[in-house]
Amino acid sequence: MRTPLGRLGGALTTAALASLLTAAPAAAANKACDLLTASELETALGAKVALRGSAASGVEMCMGQVPTARVLLRLAPGPAGDGSAERAGIDAARQMGAEVEGKTFGPITCSTMVPPPSLAEHGFNTTCTVRKANAVAGVEVTAKTRKEMLSIEKLRPLAELMVSRF
C-alpha cells in the first residue's frame, strides 16, 4: 500500500524525471556537472557546494549539498516533448495538497513546490529546466524549510547560464 508520502514522492519524481528519461545510453563523460560551476551555485545558494556526478537510465546527474538544501543538476538526451508528463505530476502534487507555482521564460520553465504540512520534512523544491531540440537540462534545489527555499527569481539566472552549455 502506498502512503500519501509515497504517492507525492512518486508524482514529483515522475514529473521531474519523465521528460528526462530516455532509452539512449548514458554518455561516456557526465556533462551534467558542466552545466553550472560550484561558484555559480554558491552565488545563488549562499554556501559552498561540492558536486559529484552519476548517471541512471540515460540521465546524467550531478548532486551537491549545502547546509540548507540539496542541489541536483540533470541532463538527458531526447525530444522536447509536449509537457504532458510534467502537467500530470503537478496535478497529482496539487491533489495531495502541495502548492505549486510555475513560470515559463522562453525555453526555460521554472516551478516551486511547497508540500502540505504533513510532508514538509521532505523539502521545499524549486526547479528550472531548459529544453532544446535534442536535450533537456535542469537545476533543482530542495530546501529543508520554506524559509530557506530558493525563489524562481534566484534560480532562473542559473537556468539562463545552462542554455548555452549543452
pLDDT value of residue 132: 85
pLDDT value of residue 83: 65
pTM of the entire predicted model: 0.78
pLDDT value of residue 82: 65
The 3-class secondary structure across the chain, one letter per residue, is: CCCHHHHHHHHHHHHHHHCCCCCCCCCCCCCHHHCCCHHHHHHHHCCCCCCEEEEECCEEEEEEEECCEEEEEEEEECCCCCCHHHHHHHHHHHHCCCEEEEEEECCEEEEEEECCHHHHHHCEEEEEEEEECCEEEEEEEEECCCCCCCCHHHHHHHHHHHHHHC
Region of residue 123 (left: phi > 0; alpha: psi -120 to 50; beta: else): left
pLDDT value of residue 134: 83
pLDDT value of residue 80: 58
pLDDT value of residue 60: 94
pLDDT value of residue 68: 93
pLDDT value of residue 63: 95
Instruction: Please list the rounded mean pLDDT of every run of 10 residues in the chain (166 residues).
Output: 42 38 44 94 92 87 95 84 71 90 91 94 94 89 96 96 90
pLDDT value of residue 24: 34
pLDDT value of residue 139: 97
Burial of 122 from C-beta contacts in 10 A (0-12 / 13-18 / 19+): middle
Residues ≥6 apart with Cβ < 8 Å to 95: none
Rounded-to-integer distance, Cα 96 and Cα 158, Å: 29
Give the architecture-level CATH label for domain 4-165: 3-Layer(aba) Sandwich (3.40)
Query: Domain segments of the chain: what residues?
Result: 4-165
